[in-house]
Amino acid sequence: MGILEVQNVNKSFGGLKALTNVNLNVEEGMIHAIIGPNGAGKSTLLNCFVGRLIPDTGAVTFDGQSLLGKKPHEINQTGVSRVFQTPEIFSDLTVLENVMIPCFAKRDGAYSLNAINSVRNEKDILEKAEQMLVDVNMADKRDMVASSMSRGDKRRLEMAMCLSQDPKLLLLDEPTAGMARADTNNTIELLAEIQEKRHITMVVIEHDMHVVFSLAQKISVLAQGTVIVEDLPDKIKGHPKVQEAYLGGAH
Amino acid sequence: MFGLRKSDSALLLIVIALTVLAPFILNPFPENSVMAQFNAGYPDLMQRLVIFGIFAIGFNILFGLTGYLSFGHAAFLGVGSYAGVWMIKLLTLNVIPAIVVSVIVAGAFSLLVGWISLRRSGIYFSILTLAFAQMSYALAYSVLTPITGGETGLQPKVGDPRILDAALEEGVTPRANLFGMFMNDSYDMVVGGWIFTFNVGYYIAAICMVLAFYLSIRIFRSPFGLMLRAVKSNQQRLNYTGIESKPYTLAAFVISGMYAGLAGGLLVAMDTQAGAERMFWTASGEVVLMTILGGAGTLIGPVLGAGFIKYFENIVSKINANILETWFSFMPDGLSDVFVGIIYPFIGKGWHLTLGILFMLVVIFLPGGLVQGGQKIAGMFKNKKDGSDSATSSASAAPAE
């Protein structure tokens, strides 16, 4: 039994069928990659996990609980964090504040009206956030305003924000999109390190095959809204169905 | 100090000093001089300066921190005012119950309005709050006349019950007081040509404003304040971080509604009457102007903005054509007429034209408001100082700080 189970999920937008009978089984502690050509429904599927979209039919179960009908913040509180395709951070706040917010969310729940105590007196939160910045090599940027950083740093910050919640499942939507080669390799190292140290289950959507084959322990190939193959990386490489999906027809 | 960091303590001390010394600061010109009309140190105006300061500080907690632009905050000020007058009519002429109940009633009303309006964000939120405020205004003006006094407004009468007070003597008009001190009692200090007025009502309102300002600093620096800034910055990320934004925005809305209620209660304490025009949409717009003009999202900005607008409203609108003519009387006749003609549309009843132009200039050149203007000026001095330092003492360059 996997930590995240997707059964017969269907989703249409008007007449367009985005997902057709998608089945997916993500095992605990694994890095599971979802690949597929543009428009295959990868992001739609991810949106169904975090409560942004609700599937028309089917079931999404995480850690034994159904995620359907839950709001994004409720899903996050069960232990699912998401890194977006374009970094979603608190651009007006400092790097340290960005990381403190998820720490507060982890400690205090969906809301707490802590309006009198100063942030600076929340020693446990400050320590945790600063340690997290050290872990992702951003300690020197703690007082920078987030919007003034490079794209690679923004993504790193978003990763740090997700990790500071100690999630059970980390969803990554194209974590290396638009990155230079060096940054991409750094990200691969960072993710591999996280997996080794923290044993967080990860679902990665990715176009870059270099990233996919360096990280993934299992790969699902999505084409035209349905999973055509789910297998180990070695088997995926030469799979005829995969080549057909990417190259358009057998030769 | 009081659990504040150094810079915030300094800011609080500045505000305390400004409010305590306001009778001196606002009366810089001798009583009989030509400039005396620019003096603002009379009780009525000073009271308004601090009361609208409170209103703007509260508005800034909502707009400055969360970015939710309410166009209906005057409704809470109005509801608070009516509640205050009713306390004075029913309970006692002492202002404390009036002020406390104003805050509570305005808080309850803002909970209702906020709970509904915060279902939407952006422009739709603004329109919803505006709709609520205009409904409140229309109701107060007509349908609810038995409660609000309609067109004539609400004021205490000799025959009111006032169950906690002893009956007034024959022919005495009811006046609000605080344990026997009347709000319009003043002590005039005459120094040379100057008259400085120390007014009871002003200092009561000033104490309220300092407390309100202190509380707003605490809110700004708290985890709650951090979450409100996160709402403004990226609500989507906040939701995906496991935080439900509605309780935060609603709490901010209610807190700012209670600030408005406090301002309404104090207005009533100073001048025991309330009218529906207090809830009109222009009154809601004014607090938006105050906050943006001063600097939305900054601590001291709203106080400066409120002071600035209320001061110029009173001073500029008092200038009339005769005063202008005396100013330009040193010129030849034709020329002085030209100058009077040019300036005339901007004074007296044309004061809104002046305000509009000032507001446009600030928004275009200083989007951060007066606070940003102050920072720019401070920065210029700093640069100059640094520049001259490095020019004169470049040889003995010591490590800075």
User: Mutation test of the interface with chain A: which of B217, B218, B240, choosing the one with the most A Cβ atoms within 10 A?
Assistant: B240
Quick check: is B78 in a domain?
yes
Number of domains in chain B: 1
* Facing A76 at nearest CB: one of B222, B241, B247: B241
* Facing A50 at nearest CB: one of B219, B238, B240: B240
Are B261 and B107 within 8 A, CB to CB? yes
DSSP state of B174: P
For residue A165, give how far its alpha carbon lies from the nearest alpha carbon of chain B (Å): 8
Residue that has been written with the tokens 């009361």 in this structure: B51
Judge whether B5 is closer than 8 Å to chain A, CB to CB: yes
Quick check: is B117 in a domain?
yes
Sorting pLDDT into bands at 50, 70 and 90, what band is B400?
very low
Q: Once rounded to an integer, what is the mean pLDDT over residues B306-314?
A: 91
Taking an 8 Å cut-off on Cβ atoms, the answer to whether A104 and B226 are in contact is: yes
Taking an 8 Å cut-off on Cβ atoms, the answer to whether A120 and B221 are in contact is: yes
Name the E strands within chain A: 4-13, 16-26, 31-35, 57-62, 65-66, 80-83, 169-173, 201-205, 218-223, 226-231
For residue B4, give how far its alpha carbon lies from the nearest alpha carbon of chain A (Å): 8
Rg, C-alpha atoms of chain B:
23
Residues of chain A neighbouring B247 (CB-CB closer than 8 A)? 110-111, 113
- Report the pLDDT value the prediction gives residue A249, as an integer from 0 to 100: 53
* Domain, as residue range, for B54: 6-281
Taking an 8 Å cut-off on Cβ atoms, the answer to whether B242 and A101 are in contact is: no
Task: Single out the residue of B385, B288, B376 nearest to residue B52, CA to CA.
Answer: B288
Residues 6+ apart with CB under 8 A from B262: B54, B58, B80, B99, B102, B103, B106, B208, B212
Higher pLDDT among residues B210 and A249, named by residue: B210
Q: What is the pLDDT of residues B180-192, one digit of tens each?
A: 888 888 888 888 8
CB neighbourhood size of A69 (10 A):
8
Judge whether A104 is closer than 8 Å to chain B, CB to CB: yes
Task: Single out the residue of A97, A96, A104, A57 nearest to residue A76, CA to CA.
Answer: A104
Per-residue pLDDT at B82 exceeds 90: yes
Higher pLDDT among residues B33 and A60, named by residue: A60
* Facing B221 at nearest CB: one of A50, A108, A118: A118
**Which residue from B minimizes the CA distance to A71?**
B239
Taking an 8 Å cut-off on Cβ atoms, the answer to whether B251 and A89 are in contact is: no
For residue B259, give how far its alpha carbon lies from the nearest alpha carbon of chain A (Å): 15
CATH class in words for A1-79+168-251: alpha beta
Residues pairing with A205 in the sheet: A34, A173
Task: Single out the residue of A67, A97, A33 nearest to residue A233, CA to CA.
Answer: A33
Judge whether A80 is closer than 8 Å to chain B, CB to CB: no
DSSP string for B229-273: HHHHH-HHHHHTTT--HHHHHHHHHHHHHHHHHHHHHHHHHHS--
**Which residue from B minimizes the CA distance to A88?**
B237
Per-residue pLDDT at B389 exceeds 60: no
ipTM of the complex in this document: 0.90
Per-residue pLDDT at B396 exceeds 50: no
Percentage of chain B beyond pLDDT 90 is 58
Residues of chain A neighbouring B259 (CB-CB closer than 8 A)? none
Quick check: is B359 in a domain?
no
* Facing B234 at nearest CB: one of A77, A90, A100: A90
C-alpha to C-alpha distance for B75 and B110, rounded to whole angstroms = 9
Rg, C-alpha atoms of chain A:
19
Residues of chain B neighbouring A82 (CB-CB closer than 8 A)? 240
Are B197 and B211 within 8 A, CB to CB? no
Task: Single out the residue of A86, A90, A115 nearest to residue A100, CA to CA.
Answer: A90
Quick check: is B315 in a domain?
no
Quick check: is B235 in a domain?
yes
Per-residue pLDDT at B212 exceeds 50: yes
**Would you tell me which residues 35-54 of chain A have a C-beta closer than 8 angstroms to some C-beta of chain B?**
50
Quick check: is B386 in a domain?
no
Most confident of B91-95, B336-340, B387-391: B91-95
Q: Please, what is the average pLDDT of chain B?
A: 89
Q: Is B335 exposed, middle or buried (0-12, 13-18, 19+ CB in 10 A)?
A: exposed
Q: Enumerate the domain spans of chain A.
A: 1-79+168-251, 89-166
For residue B305, give the 3-state DSSP assignment: helix
Quick check: is B35 in a domain?
yes
For residue A251, give how far its alpha carbon lies from the nearest alpha carbon of chain B (Å): 44
Q: Once rounded to an integer, what is the mean pLDDT over residues B72-95?
A: 94
Taking an 8 Å cut-off on Cβ atoms, the answer to whether B222 and A114 are in contact is: yes
How far the first Cα of chain B sits from its last, in Å, is 24
Quick check: is B352 in a domain?
no
Sorting pLDDT into bands at 50, 70 and 90, what band is B172?
confident
Sorting pLDDT into bands at 50, 70 and 90, what band is B32?
confident
Residues of chain A predicted below pLDDT 70: 1, 247-251
Q: Once rounded to an integer, what is the mean pLDDT over residues B305-325?
A: 87
C-alpha to C-alpha distance for A244 and B363, rounded to whole angstroms = 58
Sorting pLDDT into bands at 50, 70 and 90, what band is B30?
confident
C-alpha to C-alpha distance for B304 and B11, rounded to whole angstroms = 12
Residues of chain A neighbouring B222 (CB-CB closer than 8 A)? 114-119
Which run of H or of E encompasses B363? helix B351-365
Residues of chain A neighbouring B221 (CB-CB closer than 8 A)? 118-120
Per-residue pLDDT at B165 exceeds 50: yes
C-alpha to C-alpha distance for B160 and B71, rounded to whole angstroms = 35
* Facing B226 at nearest CB: one of A50, A101, A110: A101
Residues of chain B neighbouring A109 (CB-CB closer than 8 A)? 242
Are A225 and A17 within 8 A, CB to CB? yes
Residues of chain B neighbouring A102 (CB-CB closer than 8 A)? 241-242
Residue A205 is encoded by which pair of tokens? Answer: 């959507």
Per-residue pLDDT at B88 exceeds 80: yes
Judge whether A114 is closer than 8 Å to chain B, CB to CB: yes
- Report the pLDDT value the prediction gives residue B388, as an integer from 0 to 100: 52
